[in-house]
A and B are shown apart, each in its own frame.
Chain A
Amino acid sequence: MSEAQWLPIVFVGLMGLAVLLYAILDGYDLGVGILLPNDNEQQRDTMIASIGPFWDANETWLVLAIGLLLIAFPEAHSEVMRELYLPTAIMLAGLILRGVAFDFRAKVALENKRMWDHIFRAGSLITSLSQGYMLGMYVMGFEYTAEAIGFSILSALGVTAAYAYIGAAWLVMKTEGELQVRAAKWGRRCGWTCLAGIIAVCAVNPLVNPAVFEKWFTFPFVVAMGMIPITCLAMFAIVDRVLKKVPLPDDFGCWLPFVCAVIIFVLCFQGLAFSFYPYIVPGKIDIWQAASAPESLMFILYGAVIVVPVILAYTAFSYRVFWGKATELKYY
């Protein structure tokens, strides 16, 4: 196989990894932002403390994902960004608001702290909704029909529910006491919404994309594709059982909902990725048509092979440092 053939596959894999990691990592911290309660400042402090050391690095996966799209598939990048111009701008506004609210809330006068908490939640919500909307538009092939917009709105709600779900699971793992019980309640509610969203996408996706339909319902893929919803369903059921029992004796298995949520994210991502591969813009541009020159991809690949494991290593280090229940957020 020549370089021009395998390099795009490697890069679409790398990009997929970045998107998946972004959805999981920024997913939980966006989710925590969405869930901020109105009535309890101390709980808000703890919730934000639980994501404090991580949110910045989490967002960097988005920069890497969009960077890889830009670097490896410039043509697709242009096409996608043109189609999603306004949702992108709105998402960026949301990201900006929540990123700064995080810091401002800790440093301003007390009477303004509440306002920044509202902004933090609103920013998280705007970001999640616009990402879900963009995902919907992408699945529908950037058509601006009533059905496509309707579907995208549904997808916006689904993604938001999914982020809140993994955010609640994160809180169950990272907090204790009253807040943990509360988070478990939120998690159960979001879980059902999330499941409904996944079922909706599963139903609509093959119906609007004949290519996807064909892929899903031919042997042997139909078996694999059948496994995804069944496993997801099992995960949802396990999580729901665990959350129902929170607080657990000795906090046994507090990490289970988060791990199951991650598995759900991975499976759903697999399903979507499989549906569209090798297209990078559904039905229009495939990865070989969109790819950059092999010599450029090779140059960045050398670096990526060395640097990505290092990034994963120090990310793991950072999570180890802040292992265990979230404590009060102190500088040093």
Chain B
Amino acid sequence: MLDTFMLSRIQFAANISFHILFPTITIAMCWFLCYFKVRFDLSGHPMWMRAYRFWVKVFALTFALGVVSGITMSFQFGTNWPGFMETVGNIAGPLLGYEVLTAFFLEATFLGVMLFGMGRVPNKVHTFSTFMVAIGTSLSAFWILALNSWMQTPTGFEMRDGVAHATDWWAIIFNPSFPYRLTHMLIASGLTASFFIAGLSAYRLLKGDEKKAPRVALKTALVVAAILAPTQAFVGDLHGLNTLEHQPQKIAAIEGVWHTEKGAPLVLFGIPDEEQQTTHYAIEIPKMASLILTHEWDGELQGLNEFEGNHPPVAPMFFGFRIMVGVGMLMIAASWLGCWFWWRKRELPSWMYRGLIAMTFSGWIATLAGWYVTEIGRQPWLVTGVLTTADAVTTVPNTSVATSLALYLTLYTVLIIAYLRTLLVMSNRAIELEEYQSPTATAIQSSAINAEAKA
């Protein structure tokens, strides 16, 4: 059987991969909800309320999965990686603490008012609560990415007796890779939520839902995606340059640069072979990697040969990065095409609806691929230059870890199936609702809206 170290790594990867699926939707989706709610407050048009009402239910379900899988995460450090807190606890602890104090309580408490409080509080307070939840989810991303970025590019500390001590909190939070990683992740969440909303709305429209709500939701999501997708390519490039400066071995693995060279080609695709230190069947654009990363045709790129024994495994980095970029390109194309059709014809051809349905969870693929690149790319370190992953692992017997891992995997499989099925049930149910006739909400309609609001 695998040893405690490998099992713990797999367990951590499984837990965090499952967890990220849900926040990556909810962080941005809550801002969509704010938008729907504000549009309703301003116009009084029931279609905005309809859109809010449908998506807030999806939000509640997704958020619940995020919360419970997040609780698991908070226990992982202690159960499987005690060396992490023992070595860098003085820094990681306060960052996690601030996440709980400023973000978790805010979102959890106002979520109650947002979901169930509409009839009980003035409308303004309800809109305010929606904003508080959105701020909470985004703050949570702020703190956890501050910690993750610090693990990638640690600054603002000194080592005393093998334990990290904070010297400058500003430098710890705003460490060199943090602004890039935070922006990259927030936009990733925006894209994930956009394609998620677009996909489910397209499904409803294709199934003959003729109400206005799915149409405005689809339009909003397409416009947001069309803006964010190219922005993400630009931010991603900046993030890459930042990584080149601070973690060149990561870039070397991503690009498959085996030996330091000038005018390195951009490998579009190939099969990296770590043993023979070469990429088979490589399709290359000459000098392009050097141009992108150094902005010079003959710029020098450090190769993996300079980081022997100290660089991440090449294959997952190489493929993960290409999957992420590929999905990103697809997102640019799909969102622009969708917007063009909408602008010209006020609707999409049915093949386009099908395409968007197929891309409902494209954000998950890109996000996971991107996180695998950045996290595997830090190996063999847990905290770059400070603590290796192998040194942080627990002494718990491997049978215990195997048991807990089996438990989690079973649970996650069941839950993901239940989640997807429930989304389908909710969408089908929404299709069958009747449309409101009048363009503005009246008192009678408000009560009709409430009557249908039963969870």
Query: Known interface pairs A75-B86, A296-B90. Does A66 touch B75 (Cβ–Cβ under 8 Å)?
Result: yes
Q: How far is the CB of B386 from chain A (nearest CB, A)?
A: 15
Supposing A57-B108, A321-B113 touch, asked if A67 and B67 sit within 8 A by C-beta, the answer is no
Stretch at the interface among B258-266, B375-383, B400-408: B400-408
Query: Taking A56-B112, A88-B75, A321-B121 as contacts, is the C-beta distance between A331 and B453 under 8 angstroms?
Result: yes
Given A77-B78, A95-B68, A100-B418, CB of A331 within 8 Å of CB of B89: no
Q: How far is the CB of A74 from chain B (nearest CB, A)?
A: 4
B169 CB within 8 Å of chain A: yes
How many whole Å from B20's CB to the nearest CB in chain A? 16
Query: Do A314 and B426 have beta carbons less than 8 Å apart?
Result: no
Q: How far is the CA of A304 from the CA of B102 in the complex (A)?
A: 9
Q: Is the interface of B mostly helix, strand, loop or mixed?
A: helix
Instruction: Give chain A nearest CB distance to B95 CB in angstroms.
Output: 9
Q: Which of these, A57, A78, A295, A318, contacts B78 with CB under 8 Å?
A: A78
Encoded as 1 (CB less than 8 Å from any B CB) or 0, chain A from 247 to 290 comes to 00000000000000000000000000000000000000000000
Is there contact, CB below 8 Å, between A85 and B79?
yes
Q: Given A63-B104, A318-B109, A330-B454 in contact, is the A97-B411 Cβ separation under 8 Å?
A: yes
Q: Give, as a whole number of angstroms, the nearest-CB distance from A22 to chain B.
A: 12
Which of B58-66, B242-250, B320-328, B360-368 participates in binding chain A? B58-66
Q: Within the complex, which residue of A52, A53, A96, A304 is in contact with B101, where a contact is CB–CB below 8 Å?
A: A304
Q: Enumerate chain A residues within 8 angstroms of B97, measured Cβ to Cβ.
A: 67-68, 71, 300, 303-304
Residues on A with C-beta less than 8 A from B82 are: 77-78, 81-82
Bound-complex Cα distance A74 to B64 (A): 28
- Give the nearest-CB partner of A81 in chain B: B78
Known: A71-B93, A85-B404, A93-B407. Is A103-B64 also a contact (CB below 8 A)?
Answer: yes
CB pair B400–A303 under 8 Å, yes or no, is no
In the bound complex, CA of A66 to CA of B57 (Å)? 30
Chain B contributes a number of interface residues (CB within 8 A of A) equal to 73
Near B by CB (< 8 A), chain A positions 61-81 give 62-64, 66-72, 74-75, 77-78, 80-81
Smallest CB separation, A247 vs chain B (Å): 25
Q: Is B94 an interface residue (CB 8 A)?
A: yes
A70-B89 contact given A82-B396, A89-B407, A331-B453, CB 8 Å threshold: yes
Min distance, Cβ B29 to any Cβ of chain A, angstroms: 15
Interface residue stretch chosen among A34-42, A106-114, A192-200, A212-220 = A106-114
Which residues of B lie under 8 Å from residue A88 when comparing CB positions?
75, 79
Check A308 for interface membership: any CB of B closer than 8 A: yes
B93 touches A74 (CB 8 A): yes
Residues of A within 8 A of B118 (CB): 330-332
Q: Is the CB of B411 within 8 A of A93?
A: yes
Pair A108/B422 contact, Cβ less than 8 Å: yes
B96 near A70 (CB under 8 angstroms)?
yes
Distance, CA A56 to CA B110, complexed state (A): 10
User: In the complex, which of the residues A78, A80, A88, A321 has the most CB atoms of chain B within 10 Å of its own CB atom?
Assistant: A78
Q: Which B residues are in CB contact (< 8 Å) with A82? A: 78-79, 82, 394-396
A67 and B96 form a contact (CB under 8 A): yes
Given contacts A107-B422, A303-B101, contact A292 B90 (CB under 8 A): yes
Asked if A138 is at the interface of the complex by the 8 Å CB criterion, the answer is: no
B436 to chain A, nearest CB (A): 16
What chain A residues lie within 8 Å of B121 (beta carbons)? Answer: 321
Q: Determine the residue in chain A with the shortest Cβ distance to B99.
A: A67
Give residues of chain B (88-131) contacting chain A, Cβ–Cβ below 8 Å. 89-91, 93-94, 96-98, 100-102, 104-106, 108-113, 115-121, 126
Number of A residues near B (Cβ < 8 Å) is 65
CB distance from A180 to the nearest CB of B (A): 21
Q: Whole-angstrom distance from the CB of B121 to the nearest CB of chain A?
A: 6
A288 nearest CB across to chain B (Å)? 16
Tell whether, in the assembled complex, residue A321 and residue B117 are in contact, meaning their CB atoms are under 8 Å apart: yes
Residue numbers in A under 8 Å from B108 (CB-CB): 56-57, 59-60
Q: Is A186 engaged at the interface, CB distance under 8 Å to the other chain?
A: no
A192 to B77 alpha-carbon distance, docked (Å): 39
- Contact B166 A293, beta carbon cutoff 8 Å: yes
Q: Which of B74, B78, B455 contacts A331 (CB 8 A)?
A: B455
Asked whether any CB of chain A lies closer than 8 Å to the CB of B215, the reply is no
Given A78-B82, A81-B79, A99-B68, check contact A318 B90 (CB 8 Å). Answer: no
Q: Evaluate contact between A330 and B455: CB separation under 8 angstroms.
A: yes
Within 8 A of B (CB), among A205-236: none
- Tell me if A135 counts as interface (CB < 8 A to partner B): no
Expressed in whole angstroms, the Cα–Cα distance for A52 and B105 within the complex equals 16
Whether B455 and A89, one on each chain, are in contact in the complex, defined by CB atoms closer than 8 angstroms, is: no
Q: B94's contact among A93, A96, A97, A299, by CB below 8 Å, is which?
A: A299
Give the docked Cα–Cα distance between A324 and B69 (Å): 32
Q: Is B165 an interface residue (CB 8 A)?
A: yes
- Contacts A89-B404, A102-B64, A304-B101; A74 near B86 (Cβ below 8 A): yes
Verify B115–A331 contact, CB threshold 8 A: yes
Q: Is the CB of B60 within 8 A of A331?
A: yes
Taking a contact as CB atoms under 8 Å apart, the answer to whether B89 and A74 are in contact is: yes
Asked whether, in the complex, the Cβ of B75 is within 8 Å of the Cβ of A92, the reply is yes
Query: Measured between C-beta atoms, what is the minimum distance from A308 to chain B in Å?
Result: 7
Tell me if A329 is interfacial: C-beta within 8 Å of chain B: yes
Are A329 and B68 neighbours in the complex by a CB distance under 8 Å? Answer: no
Q: Which of B60, B74, B163, B166 contacts A63 (CB 8 A)?
A: B74
Chain A min CB distance to B57 (Å): 6
- Residue ID in chain B nearest A75 by CB atoms: B86
The 9 closest A-B pairs by CB, nearest first: A332-B118, A53-B112, A81-B78, A71-B93, A78-B82, A74-B89, A99-B68, A89-B404, A74-B85
A53-B113, A99-B71, A108-B425 known; 8 other A-B pairs, CB under 8 Å?
A: A57-B108, A71-B97, A78-B85, A92-B72, A292-B89, A292-B93, A293-B165, A296-B90
Q: Sample 14 A-B pairs with CB under 8 A, ordered by A number.
A: A56-B67, A56-B108, A60-B108, A63-B70, A78-B86, A81-B79, A82-B394, A85-B79, A92-B75, A107-B61, A300-B98, A329-B455, A330-B454, A331-B57
